[in-house]
Amino acid sequence: MSPHDLLIAPFSYEFMRRGLLSAMLLGVSGGLLGCVLVLRRLALMGDALSHSLLPGIAAAWLLFGTSTVALFLGGLIAGLLTALGSALLSRLTRIKEDAAFGSLFIVFFGAGVALTSKLPTRLNLADFLFGNVLGVSAADLWLAAAVSGGTAALFAVFYRSILLETFDPVFHRATGGRGGLVHMGFLTLTVLNLVAAMQTMGIVLALGLFLLPAVSAYLWCDRFASMLLLSIGLALLGSAFGILLSFHAGLASGASIVLCLGLIFLVSALFSPRYGAVRSLWRGGVR
């Protein structure tokens, strides 16, 4: 098989081009968001948040059919309800935020699975959960472009607020920063991106496109700006190779993107010259 067959030929198919474009667009915004998720230790919360989108999407499907906008809004509402609901629960009861989030999201997810079992039989729950690159429509692409562009623009404009809020929220507030606003905006962006990534990645695997490039970049960088850029770069690399892998091996697109990113992550975690496992084992052994 020639390099052309391997790397270029697959993109003679329209659905492959769409899938690639969608994954790369969301790789840009996901790579950015992932950095904040990782640095603020919200990785698991992001995971819970992604599961909680399901009932919103399923309900929108039941009510409005396949309209991209309806699915998007349904997912957004479900995600924000979970985020707000758990914030309220943790403030008004003795439940801590993680338990509140954990309980709410699993209820939402259960409701989502129940709802999808009521959907017309042609529809596959697996496509919701794990993504199907074949299904990326032109509307989905526009949505991905809007969400990705919006996220990147917000990061560019509010870069300093985001850095302060991520690194030292107390200092941010003490110097007049709108910490709560930045945080809520960040949660909203995360939900938007998760919903936009649903078609290609599936709601369960979408977070992989956010987290894996960011953790990998975290292992290499000593500056916030370079971590953001490397994270975007790795997300683009992983999604391109992931889409190709899914084509050649006949795998689900979301899964193969996550696998490619996972390989990058594994290599980083083991062999990063400053923060890798091999280095700390080596130094431990010498000492």
Please identify which residue in the block is written with the tokens 């979408």: 206
- How many residues touch another protein (CB under 8 A)? 24
Which value, in Å, is the radius of gyration of the alpha carbons in the chain? 19
CB of 49 to another protein, least distance (A): 21
Nearer to another protein, 82 or 216 (CB): 216
Is residue 92 close enough to count as binding another protein by CB under 8 A?
no
Contact segment (CB under 8 A) with another protein among 23-31, 157-165, 195-203, 256-264 equals 157-165
Among 17, 173, 178, 279, binds another protein (CB under 8 A): 173
Is residue 8 close enough to count as binding another protein by CB under 8 A?
no
Contact segment (CB under 8 A) with another protein among 20-28, 47-55, 215-223, 257-265 equals 215-223
Is residue 163 close enough to count as binding another protein by CB under 8 A?
yes
Is residue 223 close enough to count as binding another protein by CB under 8 A?
yes
CB of 177 to another protein, least distance (A): 7
Is residue 160 close enough to count as binding another protein by CB under 8 A?
yes
Among 105, 109, 186, 218, binds another protein (CB under 8 A): 218
243 touches 19 (CB < 8 A):
yes
Is residue 233 close enough to count as binding another protein by CB under 8 A?
no
Task: Name residues contacting another protein, limited to 104-123 (CB under 8 A).
Answer: none
3-state SS, one letter per residue, for 10-62: HHHCHHHHHHHHHHHHHHHHHHHHHHHHHHCCCHHHHHHHHHCCHHHHHHHHH
Nearer to another protein, 223 or 287 (CB): 223
Is residue 39 close enough to count as binding another protein by CB under 8 A?
yes
Reduced to 3 DSSP states, what percent helix, strand and coil does the chain have, rounded to the nearest 5?
80, 0, 20
Burial of 43 (0-12, 13-18, 19+ CB in 10 A): middle
DSSP labels, 96-134: -HHHHHHHHHHHHHHHHHHHHHTS-TTS-HHHHHH--GG
Nearer to another protein, 117 or 226 (CB): 226
Contact segment (CB under 8 A) with another protein among 45-53, 168-176, 201-209, 265-273 equals 168-176
Is residue 17 close enough to count as binding another protein by CB under 8 A?
no
Cα 199 to chain centroid distance, Å, stands at 12
CA 107 → CA 47, 100, 138, distances in Å? Answer: 14, 11, 33
CB of 277 to another protein, least distance (A): 15
Q: Which residues contact 202 (CB under 8 A, 6 or more apart)?
A: 126, 127, 128, 129, 130, 131, 132, 252, 254
CA separation for the pair 24, 132 (Å, rounded): 15
Is residue 164 close enough to count as binding another protein by CB under 8 A?
yes
Please identify which residue in the block is written with the tokens 């889409």: 243
CB of 173 to another protein, least distance (A): 6
Q: Computed from CA positions of residues 225, 227, 230, 231, in that sequence, does the dihedral angle turn out positive or negative? A: negative
280 touches 271 (CB < 8 A):
no
Binding mask 175-214 for another protein (x = CB under 8 A): xxx-------------------------------------
Among 1, 222, 273, 285, binds another protein (CB under 8 A): 222
